[in-house]
Amino acid sequence: MYNNWEELKQSINGCKKCKLCNNRTNIVFGDGNQNADIMFIGEGPGADEDLQGIPFVGKAGKLMNMAFEGIGIERNNVYIANIVKCRPPQNRNPESDEATSCLDYLRNQVMLVKPKIIVLLGSVALKNILGNEYGITSSRGNWVEKKGILYMPTWHPAALLRDEAKKIEFWKDLKQVIVKYEQMS
């Protein structure tokens, strides 16, 4: 584990721990306030993210930004990262060996950020962080506490693009995050 951001970022440069490195344009490390109380974790970069090297800048990211704006979350006040740092081909879910290869980077990011709340965006983030016994449909909207951190599982913004009905649940989950954060502050 690295004790500062510079060493952690250097450690990931040129990473070849899994086959995802073969087709990447950029490593998508993370974005936002490195001292945020709220952290968002998605599954992995898409095409736009791979090109720009920034998480959640494509269609799903734009939708998430609209939700942030509507609920009063400043994107630059939260920290956003992914389970894997390189784009899986055709935006498929990361395979377990790929996720495992990247999890130490993510754990180190969490250690450095020290968030009070982590929002898990979708099934891949949920299962890799809290375990395979969790399912997104049954877990979303319900708080889970582990090691002093509160987790809120919710839909991945890409799921909202496929199923408009999930937008209301996503919105409600983000509202819960804001209310809980305000109670903690």
pLDDT at 139 over 90: yes
pLDDT at 163 over 90: yes
**Domain count within the chain:** 1
Helix locations, the chain, DSSP H: 5-12, 47-52, 59-71, 96-113, 123-130, 136-139, 157-162, 166-184
pLDDT at 181 over 90: yes
What is the per-residue pLDDT for 117?
A: 98
pLDDT at 185 over 90: no
Domain that holds residue 125: 5-184
CATH number at residue 113: 3.40.470.10
- What percent of the chain stands above pLDDT 90? 98
How much is the mean pLDDT over the chain? 97
Q: What are the tens digits of pLDDT across the range 13-30?
A: 999 999 999 999 999 999
What is the per-residue pLDDT for 103?
A: 97
pLDDT band, residue 141 (cuts 50/70/90): very high
Secondary structure, 3-state, 60-87: HHHHHHHHHHHHCCCHHHCEEEECCCCC
